[in-house]
Chain A
Amino acid sequence: MNISEALEIVSQTNPGMVRSHNEDSVSFDAAHGLVVLADGMGGYNAGEVASGIAVSVLTSEVKHRLDVVGPEQKDAESSDDVGVAVLRENVKKANLSIFNAAQSQPQYAGMGTTIVTGLFYDDRVAVAHVGDSRMYRLRGEVFEAITRDHSLLQEQIDSGIISKELARLSKNKNLVTRAVGIEADVVPEVHLYDVEIGDIYLLCSDGLNDMVEDEDIGATLQMLQGNLPLAATQLIEQANDNGGRDNVSVILVKVKGSYALPRGLWAKLKSWFKN
Protein backbone atom coordinates (compact mmCIF):
# COMPACT_ATOMS: atom_id res chain seq x y z
CA MET A 1 0.00 0.00 0.00
CA ASN A 2 1.13 3.48 -0.82
CA ILE A 3 2.15 5.36 2.34
CA SER A 4 -0.32 8.20 1.93
CA GLU A 5 -3.12 5.60 1.64
CA ALA A 6 -1.83 3.55 4.56
CA LEU A 7 -1.71 6.45 7.00
CA GLU A 8 -4.48 8.77 8.09
CA ILE A 9 -2.99 11.97 9.51
CA VAL A 10 -4.77 14.90 11.17
CA SER A 11 -3.32 17.86 13.01
CA GLN A 12 -4.75 20.68 15.10
CA THR A 13 -3.24 23.53 17.03
CA ASN A 14 -4.91 26.00 19.37
CA PRO A 15 -3.57 28.93 21.42
CA GLY A 16 -5.41 27.72 24.54
CA MET A 17 -7.44 29.82 26.96
CA VAL A 18 -4.75 32.03 28.47
CA ARG A 19 -2.03 32.83 25.95
CA SER A 20 -2.53 35.51 23.35
CA HIS A 21 -0.39 33.84 20.72
CA ASN A 22 0.47 30.38 19.62
CA GLU A 23 4.14 29.42 19.80
CA ASP A 24 3.50 25.85 18.63
CA SER A 25 4.06 24.79 15.03
CA VAL A 26 2.81 21.62 13.39
CA SER A 27 3.18 20.20 9.92
CA PHE A 28 2.95 16.90 8.09
CA ASP A 29 3.78 15.52 4.67
CA ALA A 30 1.60 12.48 3.97
CA ALA A 31 3.45 11.52 0.78
CA HIS A 32 6.70 11.11 2.71
CA GLY A 33 5.12 9.84 5.96
CA LEU A 34 6.59 12.75 7.90
CA VAL A 35 5.02 14.49 10.93
CA VAL A 36 6.64 17.37 12.88
CA LEU A 37 5.52 19.25 16.01
CA ALA A 38 7.49 21.98 17.77
CA ASP A 39 6.75 24.07 20.88
CA GLY A 40 8.71 27.31 20.78
CA MET A 41 9.92 29.47 23.64
CA GLY A 42 11.32 32.97 23.87
CA GLY A 43 10.12 36.50 24.38
CA TYR A 44 7.77 38.52 22.19
CA ASN A 45 7.21 36.40 19.06
CA ALA A 46 10.58 34.62 19.18
CA GLY A 47 8.91 31.36 20.26
CA GLU A 48 6.84 31.24 17.08
CA VAL A 49 9.91 32.03 15.03
CA ALA A 50 11.92 29.22 16.61
CA SER A 51 9.22 26.55 16.26
CA GLY A 52 8.45 27.80 12.75
CA ILE A 53 12.08 27.46 11.65
CA ALA A 54 12.30 23.97 13.15
CA VAL A 55 9.19 22.73 11.36
CA SER A 56 10.07 24.26 8.00
CA VAL A 57 13.67 23.00 8.06
CA LEU A 58 12.49 19.49 8.89
CA THR A 59 9.72 19.32 6.29
CA SER A 60 11.70 20.81 3.41
CA GLU A 61 15.03 19.10 4.08
CA VAL A 62 13.65 15.63 4.79
CA LYS A 63 11.55 15.74 1.61
CA HIS A 64 14.59 16.93 -0.32
CA ARG A 65 16.74 14.03 0.84
CA LEU A 66 14.04 11.37 0.47
CA ASP A 67 13.38 12.41 -3.12
CA VAL A 68 16.95 11.27 -3.86
CA VAL A 69 17.44 8.26 -1.61
CA GLY A 70 14.98 5.84 0.04
CA PRO A 71 14.57 5.97 3.84
CA GLU A 72 15.24 2.21 4.07
CA GLN A 73 18.71 2.53 2.51
CA LYS A 74 21.76 2.58 4.73
CA ASP A 75 23.28 5.95 5.46
CA ALA A 76 26.98 5.83 4.57
CA GLU A 77 28.13 8.01 7.46
CA SER A 78 26.20 6.65 10.42
CA SER A 79 25.33 3.14 9.11
CA ASP A 80 21.78 3.82 10.37
CA ASP A 81 18.81 3.80 8.03
CA VAL A 82 18.58 6.98 5.97
CA GLY A 83 15.17 7.47 7.62
CA VAL A 84 16.84 7.68 11.02
CA ALA A 85 19.86 9.70 9.88
CA VAL A 86 17.73 12.22 8.01
CA LEU A 87 15.78 13.11 11.17
CA ARG A 88 18.91 13.35 13.31
CA GLU A 89 20.78 15.51 10.78
CA ASN A 90 17.91 17.87 10.19
CA VAL A 91 17.09 18.41 13.85
CA LYS A 92 20.75 19.46 14.12
CA LYS A 93 20.35 21.64 11.04
CA ALA A 94 17.25 23.31 12.49
CA ASN A 95 19.17 23.79 15.72
CA LEU A 96 21.94 25.64 13.92
CA SER A 97 19.56 27.88 11.95
CA ILE A 98 17.69 28.89 15.11
CA PHE A 99 20.93 29.37 17.02
CA ASN A 100 22.38 31.56 14.27
CA ALA A 101 19.20 33.64 13.98
CA ALA A 102 19.19 34.13 17.75
CA GLN A 103 22.84 35.17 17.70
CA SER A 104 22.47 37.67 14.87
CA GLN A 105 19.15 39.30 15.83
CA PRO A 106 18.84 40.73 19.33
CA GLN A 107 15.06 40.35 19.45
CA TYR A 108 15.48 36.58 19.00
CA ALA A 109 18.20 36.16 21.64
CA GLY A 110 17.65 33.04 23.70
CA MET A 111 14.82 31.62 21.60
CA GLY A 112 14.51 27.88 21.28
CA THR A 113 12.04 25.11 20.70
CA THR A 114 11.24 21.56 21.61
CA ILE A 115 10.58 19.17 18.76
CA VAL A 116 9.07 15.76 18.18
CA THR A 117 9.08 14.30 14.69
CA GLY A 118 8.24 10.94 13.17
CA LEU A 119 9.07 9.44 9.79
CA PHE A 120 6.91 6.47 8.81
CA TYR A 121 8.49 4.10 6.28
CA ASP A 122 8.56 0.37 5.57
CA ASP A 123 6.11 -0.55 8.37
CA ARG A 124 8.25 1.28 10.89
CA VAL A 125 8.48 4.72 12.41
CA ALA A 126 11.65 6.65 13.21
CA VAL A 127 11.07 9.06 16.09
CA ALA A 128 13.35 11.96 17.02
CA HIS A 129 12.72 14.34 19.88
CA VAL A 130 14.33 17.08 21.93
CA GLY A 131 12.69 18.53 25.05
CA ASP A 132 9.24 17.77 26.44
CA SER A 133 7.02 17.44 23.39
CA ARG A 134 5.88 13.85 23.28
CA MET A 135 4.89 10.97 21.08
CA TYR A 136 2.39 8.46 22.46
CA ARG A 137 1.18 5.22 20.93
CA LEU A 138 -2.18 3.51 21.29
CA ARG A 139 -1.81 -0.17 20.42
CA GLY A 140 -4.88 -2.23 21.22
CA GLU A 141 -5.67 -1.44 24.83
CA VAL A 142 -2.24 -0.07 25.67
CA PHE A 143 -1.62 3.67 25.56
CA GLU A 144 1.91 4.75 26.40
CA ALA A 145 4.45 7.46 25.79
CA ILE A 146 7.23 6.29 23.50
CA THR A 147 9.36 9.36 24.03
CA ARG A 148 10.87 10.28 27.36
CA ASP A 149 10.96 14.00 28.19
CA HIS A 150 14.29 15.77 28.38
CA SER A 151 13.21 17.58 31.52
CA LEU A 152 14.39 18.04 35.06
CA LEU A 153 11.29 16.28 36.33
CA GLN A 154 11.86 13.22 34.13
CA GLU A 155 15.47 13.03 35.34
CA GLN A 156 14.23 13.15 38.91
CA ILE A 157 11.74 10.37 38.17
CA ASP A 158 14.50 8.32 36.53
CA SER A 159 16.87 8.71 39.44
CA GLY A 160 14.16 7.81 41.93
CA ILE A 161 14.05 11.17 43.71
CA ILE A 162 10.38 11.51 43.00
CA SER A 163 7.69 9.03 41.96
CA LYS A 164 5.64 9.38 38.82
CA GLU A 165 2.52 9.96 40.94
CA LEU A 166 4.12 12.70 43.04
CA ALA A 167 5.63 14.33 39.96
CA ARG A 168 2.24 15.94 39.31
CA LEU A 169 2.74 18.01 42.47
CA SER A 170 6.15 19.29 41.43
CA LYS A 171 6.72 22.98 40.96
CA ASN A 172 9.56 22.22 38.60
CA LYS A 173 7.49 21.33 35.54
CA ASN A 174 8.46 23.06 32.29
CA LEU A 175 12.17 22.93 32.86
CA VAL A 176 13.62 21.23 29.84
CA THR A 177 17.18 19.98 29.88
CA ARG A 178 17.56 19.93 26.11
CA ALA A 179 16.14 22.29 23.50
CA VAL A 180 16.66 23.11 19.83
CA GLY A 181 18.44 26.40 19.09
CA ILE A 182 19.88 27.21 22.50
CA GLU A 183 23.43 26.00 21.86
CA ALA A 184 25.49 25.52 18.72
CA ASP A 185 24.82 21.77 18.73
CA VAL A 186 22.10 19.50 20.06
CA VAL A 187 21.79 15.74 20.43
CA PRO A 188 18.32 14.58 19.41
CA GLU A 189 17.16 11.26 20.80
CA VAL A 190 16.25 8.98 17.89
CA HIS A 191 14.60 5.55 18.00
CA LEU A 192 13.11 3.21 15.43
CA TYR A 193 9.92 1.25 16.17
CA ASP A 194 7.91 -1.34 14.27
CA VAL A 195 4.33 -0.29 13.66
CA GLU A 196 1.24 -2.51 13.63
CA ILE A 197 -1.94 -2.00 11.66
CA GLY A 198 -4.44 -0.20 13.89
CA ASP A 199 -1.78 1.70 15.87
CA ILE A 200 -2.57 5.34 16.58
CA TYR A 201 0.33 7.72 17.19
CA LEU A 202 -0.17 11.00 19.00
CA LEU A 203 2.35 13.83 18.90
CA CYS A 204 1.56 16.63 21.31
CA SER A 205 2.93 19.71 23.00
CA ASP A 206 2.97 19.88 26.82
CA GLY A 207 -0.18 22.01 26.67
CA LEU A 208 -2.04 18.72 26.22
CA ASN A 209 -0.33 16.37 28.66
CA ASP A 210 -0.03 19.01 31.41
CA MET A 211 -3.76 19.67 31.31
CA VAL A 212 -5.18 16.21 30.55
CA GLU A 213 -4.19 13.02 32.36
CA ASP A 214 -2.54 10.32 30.21
CA GLU A 215 -5.37 8.01 31.13
CA ASP A 216 -7.99 10.38 29.75
CA ILE A 217 -5.97 11.01 26.59
CA GLY A 218 -5.72 7.27 26.02
CA ALA A 219 -9.42 6.69 26.65
CA THR A 220 -10.34 9.49 24.25
CA LEU A 221 -8.25 7.94 21.47
CA GLN A 222 -9.61 4.49 22.22
CA MET A 223 -13.22 5.68 22.06
CA LEU A 224 -12.90 8.00 19.09
CA GLN A 225 -10.48 6.02 16.92
CA GLY A 226 -13.22 5.73 14.30
CA ASN A 227 -13.14 9.50 13.77
CA LEU A 228 -9.62 10.94 13.96
CA PRO A 229 -10.50 14.63 13.36
CA LEU A 230 -13.08 14.42 16.17
CA ALA A 231 -10.51 12.77 18.47
CA ALA A 232 -8.11 15.68 17.85
CA THR A 233 -10.88 18.22 18.52
CA GLN A 234 -11.91 16.44 21.72
CA LEU A 235 -8.33 16.36 23.03
CA ILE A 236 -7.90 20.09 22.51
CA GLU A 237 -11.34 20.75 24.00
CA GLN A 238 -10.45 18.77 27.12
CA ALA A 239 -7.18 20.69 27.57
CA ASN A 240 -9.06 23.98 27.22
CA ASP A 241 -11.94 22.87 29.47
CA ASN A 242 -9.35 22.04 32.13
CA GLY A 243 -7.92 25.56 31.97
CA GLY A 244 -6.00 25.63 28.68
CA ARG A 245 -2.99 27.26 30.33
CA ASP A 246 -0.72 26.73 27.35
CA ASN A 247 -0.88 26.37 23.58
CA VAL A 248 -2.20 22.91 22.66
CA SER A 249 -1.18 21.02 19.55
CA VAL A 250 -1.81 17.47 18.45
CA ILE A 251 -0.98 15.37 15.42
CA LEU A 252 -2.69 11.98 15.12
CA VAL A 253 -1.47 9.26 12.79
CA LYS A 254 -3.51 6.11 12.31
CA VAL A 255 -1.96 3.11 10.58
CA LYS A 256 -4.70 1.76 8.32
CA GLY A 257 -2.63 -0.70 6.32
CA SER A 258 0.81 -2.08 5.70
CA TYR A 259 3.26 0.19 3.92
CA ALA A 260 6.11 -2.28 3.72
CA LEU A 261 8.45 -1.55 0.86
CA PRO A 262 8.55 -4.12 -1.91
CA ARG A 263 11.30 -6.69 -1.39
CA GLY A 264 12.97 -9.45 -3.39
CA LEU A 265 14.23 -9.88 -6.92
CA TRP A 266 10.93 -9.16 -8.63
CA ALA A 267 10.50 -5.87 -6.78
CA LYS A 268 14.06 -4.87 -7.57
CA LEU A 269 13.51 -5.71 -11.20
CA LYS A 270 10.29 -3.72 -11.27
CA SER A 271 11.88 -0.69 -9.70
CA TRP A 272 14.78 -1.06 -12.13
CA PHE A 273 12.40 -0.74 -15.07
CA LYS A 274 10.54 2.12 -13.46
CA ASN A 275 13.70 4.23 -13.32
Chain B
Amino acid sequence: MTAKLILSMDGVVMKEYPLTKERTTIGRKPHNDIAIDNLAVSSEHAAVITILNDSFFEDMGSTNGSVVNGTPTQKHFLQNNDVIEIGKYKLKYLNDQPTQTTSADFEKTMVLRAPVKQAKPEEGFNQTQINAGTAAPKLESTTQFNVTATKAEVPSAAPVASATQAQVAVIQILNGPNLGRELELSKNLTTLGKPGVQVAVLARRPHGYFITHVEGANFPSVNGTSVGEQPHQLKDHDIIELAGVKMEFYLKT
Protein backbone atom coordinates (compact mmCIF):
# COMPACT_ATOMS: atom_id res chain seq x y z
CA MET B 1 0.00 0.00 0.00
CA THR B 2 1.20 3.50 -0.77
CA ALA B 3 2.12 5.76 2.08
CA LYS B 4 -0.11 8.80 2.57
CA LEU B 5 -0.49 12.09 4.38
CA ILE B 6 -3.76 12.95 6.09
CA LEU B 7 -4.47 16.65 6.39
CA SER B 8 -6.51 17.77 9.38
CA MET B 9 -7.26 20.87 11.44
CA ASP B 10 -8.61 20.91 14.99
CA GLY B 11 -9.09 17.16 14.79
CA VAL B 12 -11.22 17.31 11.65
CA VAL B 13 -9.87 15.34 8.70
CA MET B 14 -9.86 17.43 5.56
CA LYS B 15 -8.17 15.38 2.88
CA GLU B 16 -5.97 12.35 2.18
CA TYR B 17 -2.92 12.60 -0.09
CA PRO B 18 -1.29 9.38 -1.34
CA LEU B 19 2.48 9.81 -1.73
CA THR B 20 2.76 8.53 -5.26
CA LYS B 21 5.20 11.13 -6.57
CA GLU B 22 8.91 11.24 -5.88
CA ARG B 23 8.43 14.80 -4.60
CA THR B 24 5.21 16.01 -3.02
CA THR B 25 5.16 19.75 -2.31
CA ILE B 26 3.28 21.48 0.50
CA GLY B 27 2.53 25.23 0.44
CA ARG B 28 0.07 28.10 0.18
CA LYS B 29 0.21 28.53 -3.61
CA PRO B 30 -2.26 26.41 -5.62
CA HIS B 31 0.46 24.71 -7.71
CA ASN B 32 1.56 22.72 -4.64
CA ASP B 33 0.48 19.08 -4.44
CA ILE B 34 -0.86 19.79 -0.98
CA ALA B 35 -2.13 23.37 -1.18
CA ILE B 36 -3.11 24.92 2.17
CA ASP B 37 -4.62 28.37 1.70
CA ASN B 38 -3.62 29.98 4.96
CA LEU B 39 -1.35 32.96 5.61
CA ALA B 40 0.69 31.05 8.22
CA VAL B 41 1.79 28.71 5.45
CA SER B 42 4.61 29.86 3.16
CA SER B 43 3.99 29.77 -0.57
CA GLU B 44 6.42 26.84 -0.90
CA HIS B 45 6.55 25.60 2.64
CA ALA B 46 7.85 22.05 2.60
CA ALA B 47 8.28 18.90 0.52
CA VAL B 48 8.11 15.16 1.07
CA ILE B 49 10.56 13.07 -0.94
CA THR B 50 9.48 9.49 -1.42
CA ILE B 51 11.93 6.78 -2.46
CA LEU B 52 10.12 3.47 -2.85
CA ASN B 53 8.84 2.72 0.66
CA ASP B 54 10.67 5.48 2.52
CA SER B 55 9.61 9.13 2.78
CA PHE B 56 11.61 12.13 3.95
CA PHE B 57 10.13 15.44 5.08
CA GLU B 58 11.99 18.68 4.39
CA ASP B 59 11.08 22.24 5.30
CA MET B 60 11.85 24.47 2.29
CA GLY B 61 12.92 27.44 4.39
CA SER B 62 9.42 28.49 5.37
CA THR B 63 8.76 31.66 7.35
CA ASN B 64 7.03 30.01 10.26
CA GLY B 65 8.77 26.64 10.15
CA SER B 66 7.49 23.08 10.53
CA VAL B 67 7.07 20.92 13.58
CA VAL B 68 7.37 17.11 13.47
CA ASN B 69 6.11 15.17 16.50
CA GLY B 70 6.29 18.31 18.58
CA THR B 71 9.82 19.32 17.60
CA PRO B 72 10.72 22.13 15.16
CA THR B 73 12.26 20.25 12.25
CA GLN B 74 14.21 20.97 9.08
CA LYS B 75 14.59 17.45 7.76
CA HIS B 76 13.08 14.22 8.99
CA PHE B 77 12.95 10.58 7.94
CA LEU B 78 9.22 9.89 8.29
CA GLN B 79 8.00 6.89 10.27
CA ASN B 80 4.46 5.54 10.43
CA ASN B 81 2.14 7.81 12.51
CA ASP B 82 4.50 10.81 12.53
CA VAL B 83 2.64 14.13 12.75
CA ILE B 84 3.82 17.20 10.82
CA GLU B 85 2.42 20.52 12.04
CA ILE B 86 2.33 23.53 9.77
CA GLY B 87 0.55 26.42 11.43
CA LYS B 88 -2.73 25.09 12.75
CA TYR B 89 -2.72 22.25 10.25
CA LYS B 90 -1.63 18.72 10.94
CA LEU B 91 -0.38 16.17 8.41
CA LYS B 92 -0.28 12.62 9.68
CA TYR B 93 2.06 10.25 7.88
CA LEU B 94 0.73 6.72 7.45
CA ASN B 95 2.82 3.93 6.02
CA ASP B 96 1.75 0.50 7.17
CA GLN B 97 3.99 -1.20 4.67
CA PRO B 98 5.28 -4.05 6.79
CA THR B 99 8.82 -3.60 7.91
CA GLN B 100 11.39 -6.22 7.37
CA THR B 101 10.83 -7.87 10.67
CA THR B 102 7.11 -8.43 10.23
CA SER B 103 6.81 -9.85 6.75
CA ALA B 104 8.81 -12.72 5.44
CA ASP B 105 7.78 -12.09 1.87
CA PHE B 106 8.71 -8.48 1.75
CA GLU B 107 12.25 -9.07 2.83
CA LYS B 108 13.16 -11.22 -0.14
CA THR B 109 16.10 -9.53 -1.73
CA MET B 110 15.24 -7.84 -4.98
CA VAL B 111 17.41 -6.29 -7.61
CA LEU B 112 16.96 -2.66 -8.37
CA ARG B 113 17.95 -2.18 -11.98
CA ALA B 114 19.34 1.28 -12.02
CA PRO B 115 22.63 2.85 -13.04
CA VAL B 116 25.11 2.22 -10.29
CA LYS B 117 27.86 4.47 -9.18
CA GLN B 118 31.21 3.10 -8.15
CA ALA B 119 31.37 2.68 -4.40
CA LYS B 120 34.23 4.07 -2.36
CA PRO B 121 35.99 1.98 0.27
CA GLU B 122 34.14 1.98 3.54
CA GLU B 123 35.33 4.05 6.45
CA GLY B 124 36.05 2.05 9.55
CA PHE B 125 33.90 2.10 12.61
CA ASN B 126 35.05 0.87 15.91
CA GLN B 127 33.68 -2.04 17.75
CA THR B 128 34.04 -1.66 21.45
CA GLN B 129 34.14 -4.32 24.01
CA ILE B 130 33.14 -3.94 27.60
CA ASN B 131 35.67 -5.38 29.92
CA ALA B 132 34.28 -5.88 33.36
CA GLY B 133 37.82 -5.91 34.64
CA THR B 134 36.97 -4.54 38.06
CA ALA B 135 34.83 -7.55 38.83
CA ALA B 136 37.64 -9.86 37.85
CA PRO B 137 38.72 -12.33 40.46
CA LYS B 138 42.36 -13.43 40.43
CA LEU B 139 43.15 -16.94 39.38
CA GLU B 140 46.77 -16.68 40.38
CA SER B 141 48.58 -13.67 41.70
CA THR B 142 49.74 -12.67 38.22
CA THR B 143 46.91 -13.68 35.93
CA GLN B 144 43.60 -11.95 35.44
CA PHE B 145 40.33 -13.78 35.18
CA ASN B 146 38.58 -11.86 32.46
CA VAL B 147 34.91 -11.28 32.09
CA THR B 148 33.83 -9.85 28.80
CA ALA B 149 30.39 -9.40 27.39
CA THR B 150 28.47 -8.02 24.46
CA LYS B 151 26.53 -4.80 24.83
CA ALA B 152 23.32 -5.32 26.71
CA GLU B 153 21.15 -3.49 24.20
CA VAL B 154 18.77 -5.69 22.36
CA PRO B 155 18.32 -4.45 18.80
CA SER B 156 14.80 -3.28 18.04
CA ALA B 157 14.57 -5.84 15.29
CA ALA B 158 15.49 -8.50 17.77
CA PRO B 159 13.08 -8.97 20.59
CA VAL B 160 14.16 -11.35 23.32
CA ALA B 161 11.51 -13.59 24.78
CA SER B 162 9.73 -12.03 27.73
CA ALA B 163 10.87 -14.76 30.08
CA THR B 164 14.49 -13.71 29.83
CA GLN B 165 13.65 -10.03 30.00
CA ALA B 166 11.88 -10.44 33.30
CA GLN B 167 14.47 -12.71 34.83
CA VAL B 168 18.08 -11.74 34.98
CA ALA B 169 20.49 -14.49 35.80
CA VAL B 170 23.41 -13.92 38.11
CA ILE B 171 26.70 -15.69 38.68
CA GLN B 172 28.04 -15.52 42.21
CA ILE B 173 31.60 -16.52 42.98
CA LEU B 174 31.81 -19.01 45.81
CA ASN B 175 35.53 -19.29 46.54
CA GLY B 176 38.89 -17.59 46.23
CA PRO B 177 39.73 -13.93 46.74
CA ASN B 178 36.58 -12.78 44.97
CA LEU B 179 34.25 -14.76 47.17
CA GLY B 180 30.78 -13.25 47.13
CA ARG B 181 31.28 -11.21 43.95
CA GLU B 182 28.26 -11.19 41.65
CA LEU B 183 28.02 -10.79 37.91
CA GLU B 184 24.72 -10.09 36.22
CA LEU B 185 24.27 -11.93 32.92
CA SER B 186 22.54 -9.02 31.23
CA LYS B 187 24.31 -9.50 27.89
CA ASN B 188 23.75 -11.99 25.10
CA LEU B 189 27.14 -13.57 25.66
CA THR B 190 29.45 -13.53 28.65
CA THR B 191 32.80 -15.29 28.70
CA LEU B 192 34.39 -16.65 31.84
CA GLY B 193 37.96 -17.76 32.32
CA LYS B 194 41.37 -16.90 31.05
CA PRO B 195 42.14 -16.89 27.29
CA GLY B 196 44.71 -19.54 26.42
CA VAL B 197 44.02 -21.49 29.63
CA GLN B 198 40.32 -22.19 29.99
CA VAL B 199 37.38 -20.23 28.66
CA ALA B 200 33.65 -20.93 28.70
CA VAL B 201 30.84 -18.81 27.29
CA LEU B 202 27.44 -18.22 28.87
CA ALA B 203 24.82 -17.52 26.21
CA ARG B 204 21.48 -15.92 27.04
CA ARG B 205 18.91 -17.33 24.65
CA PRO B 206 15.11 -16.93 24.45
CA HIS B 207 14.58 -20.27 26.14
CA GLY B 208 17.28 -20.04 28.78
CA TYR B 209 20.97 -19.78 29.62
CA PHE B 210 23.58 -22.13 28.21
CA ILE B 211 27.21 -22.75 29.11
CA THR B 212 29.57 -23.91 26.35
CA HIS B 213 33.26 -24.78 26.45
CA VAL B 214 35.34 -22.42 24.28
CA GLU B 215 38.98 -23.34 24.79
CA GLY B 216 41.40 -25.08 27.11
CA ALA B 217 42.29 -28.68 27.89
CA ASN B 218 39.62 -29.02 30.58
CA PHE B 219 35.88 -28.64 30.25
CA PRO B 220 33.85 -26.66 32.74
CA SER B 221 31.75 -28.72 35.12
CA VAL B 222 28.20 -28.18 36.32
CA ASN B 223 27.22 -29.71 39.69
CA GLY B 224 30.40 -31.76 39.60
CA THR B 225 29.87 -33.24 36.11
CA SER B 226 31.96 -32.18 33.13
CA VAL B 227 29.78 -30.59 30.40
CA GLY B 228 31.98 -31.75 27.51
CA GLU B 229 31.97 -29.85 24.23
CA GLN B 230 28.22 -29.46 23.84
CA PRO B 231 26.15 -26.53 25.15
CA HIS B 232 24.61 -27.29 28.52
CA GLN B 233 21.46 -25.55 29.72
CA LEU B 234 21.77 -24.07 33.20
CA LYS B 235 19.15 -24.47 35.91
CA ASP B 236 18.55 -22.21 38.89
CA HIS B 237 21.25 -22.74 41.59
CA ASP B 238 23.55 -24.85 39.40
CA ILE B 239 27.16 -24.82 40.59
CA ILE B 240 29.68 -24.12 37.82
CA GLU B 241 33.36 -24.92 38.25
CA LEU B 242 35.90 -23.48 35.87
CA ALA B 243 39.67 -23.31 36.30
CA GLY B 244 39.36 -23.86 40.03
CA VAL B 245 36.75 -21.13 40.52
CA LYS B 246 33.36 -22.20 41.84
CA MET B 247 30.32 -20.16 40.91
CA GLU B 248 26.62 -20.41 41.55
CA PHE B 249 24.15 -19.64 38.76
CA TYR B 250 20.79 -18.35 39.89
CA LEU B 251 17.84 -16.41 38.57
CA LYS B 252 17.08 -13.07 40.16
CA THR B 253 13.42 -12.41 40.70
A residues within 8 Å of B by Cβ?
Answer: 18-19, 39, 41, 112, 114, 131-132, 138, 141-148, 150, 152, 154-156, 158, 161-162, 166, 168-179, 182-183, 187, 189, 191, 206, 210-216, 218-220, 222-224, 226-227, 230, 234, 237-238, 241-243, 245-246
Contacts and interface: CB of A to CB of B under 8 A. Distances in A.
A182 B99 CA distance: 26
B217 interface: no
Contacts of B116: 150, 177-178, 187
A210 B215 contact: no
A98 to B, nearest CB: 12
A245 B107 contact: yes
Nearest to A43: B108
A38 B112 CA distance: 18
Given A191-B121, A234-B203, A223 B189 contact: yes
A238 B201 contact: no
Nearest to A40: B109
B129 A141 contact: yes
Chain B interface size, under 10 / 10 to 19 / 20 to 34 / 35 or more = 35 or more
Contact of B100 (A171, A213, A216): A171
B157 A210 contact: yes
Contacts of B213: 227
B120 A173 contact: no
Interface of B, secondary structure class, is loop
B212 interface: yes
A213 B125 CA distance: 13
B188 interface: yes
B107 to A, nearest CB: 5
7 contacts: A114-B109, A168-B156, A172-B53, A189-B118, A226-B214, A237-B203, A241-B205
Contacts of B119: 148, 150, 154, 158, 189
Nearest to A112: B111
A215 B125 CA distance: 10
A261 B203 CA distance: 41
Nearest to B125: A144
B163 interface: no
Contacts of B77: 162, 166, 169-170
Interface stretch (B9-17, B21-29, B145-153): B145-153
Given A161-B56, A177-B116, A210-B100, A223 B201 contact: yes
A246 B107 contact: yes
B148 A223 contact: yes
